Amino acid sequence: MILNEIYKSVLEADRAAVVICDLEHRIIYMNPAAINRYQRWGGKDLLGKSLLDCHNEKSREMIFKVLDWFKQSGENNLVYTFYNEKENKDVYMVALRNDAGELIGYYEKHEYRNRETMKMYDIE
């Protein structure tokens, strides 16, 4: 199995929505959770479209600011952007970099604060 398949399988299995964009803000990847979460806005049909079209003017302005900050330094990689009270989660923008440390894109990371309700090691 090649490494890219392993990385993709990690994203595909994640229960949180993952939407990856290139530097032109084009949506280049959505995991199944994201496709389901954003179904009423087009779901899978959002692939190839601009993320900016999904946000209001204030949000677009903040996306530009964060992207500029990412570009300033290879150490600028994570920004806390929002707390979603209804879903009890924190939301971050995360820089994506190549092996040389160059910015190649970004994604939004969701971290839920709710305690897991699944039983531990419930595999039988």
The answer to whether residue 10 scores a pLDDT higher than 80 is: yes
Q: Which of 61, 53, 4 lies closest to 25, judged by CA?
A: 53
pLDDT score recorded for residue 23: 97
Instruction: Retrieve residue 22's tokens.
Output: 């290139």
Q: For the domain made up of 3-112, give the CATH fold.
A: Beta-Lactamase (3.30.450)
pLDDT score recorded for residue 65: 97
- Locus of tokens 């600011």: 65
Please indicate whether residue 101 or residue 1 has the higher confidence score (pLDDT). 101
pLDDT score recorded for residue 1: 57
Question: How do residues 68-124 score in pLDDT, each as one tens digit?
Answer: 999 999 999 999 999 999 999 999 999 999 999 999 999 999 999 988 888 988 888
pLDDT (average), residues 34-62: 95
pLDDT band of 51, cuts 50, 70, 90: very high
Using the CB atoms, write b or e for 23-48: b if 16+ within 10 Å: eebebeebbebbbebbeeeeeeebee
Dist. CA 67–CA 95, nearest whole Å: 8
